[in-house]
Amino acid sequence: EAIVVPPIKANNFELKQTLINLVQSNQFTGRQDPHNHLRFFNKVTSTFRHPKVPNTTVKLLLFPFSLEGEAKIWLDKELPRSILTWEDLIAAALEDKLDIRMNRFEKSLNDMKNSLVTPTAPLKAVTE
């Protein structure tokens, strides 16, 4: 897996199924606004507190549950052990979204160029 969760030093730490269900109630497929998804995800994960477990560790544990479809495929394709922190995860996600948007932008520019510069048939001389 790409996400490396830091060791948890709490003996009685457990993610409750209700928290996982809440995260899964608003899964990100890759087509919605990623900022809205992250706001929801941060709001949900902020409700969970454990004195010996940093909130960022909880986020790393829960984040895969918040994805489905293209977004889940994206995470599965990330290099193993390449995401060590919450900041790494956000950076990787935004970098990928930027690449996708740049590719779409380049394609739309090429489509516009191709529609404006259409090859024309040779002009024939007009005779009277």
Question: What is residue 125's predicted lDDT score, i.e. its pLDDT?
Answer: 65
Give tens-digit pLDDT for 85-107.
999 998 888 776 655 556 666 67
Give percent above pLDDT 70 in the chain: 77
Question: What is residue 12's predicted lDDT score, i.e. its pLDDT?
Answer: 86
Question: What is residue 63's predicted lDDT score, i.e. its pLDDT?
Answer: 96
The first and second tokens of residue 82, run together, are 């390449």
Give the least confident one: 40-49, 79-88, 119-128: 119-128
- Average pLDDT for the chain: 85
Give dist(CA 42, CA 66) in Å, integer: 11
CA angle 49, 54, 58 (to 5 degrees): 70
Looking at per-residue pLDDT, the higher value among 2 and 94 belongs to 2
Query: For the chain, what's the residue count?
Result: 128
Give percent above pLDDT 90 in the chain: 52
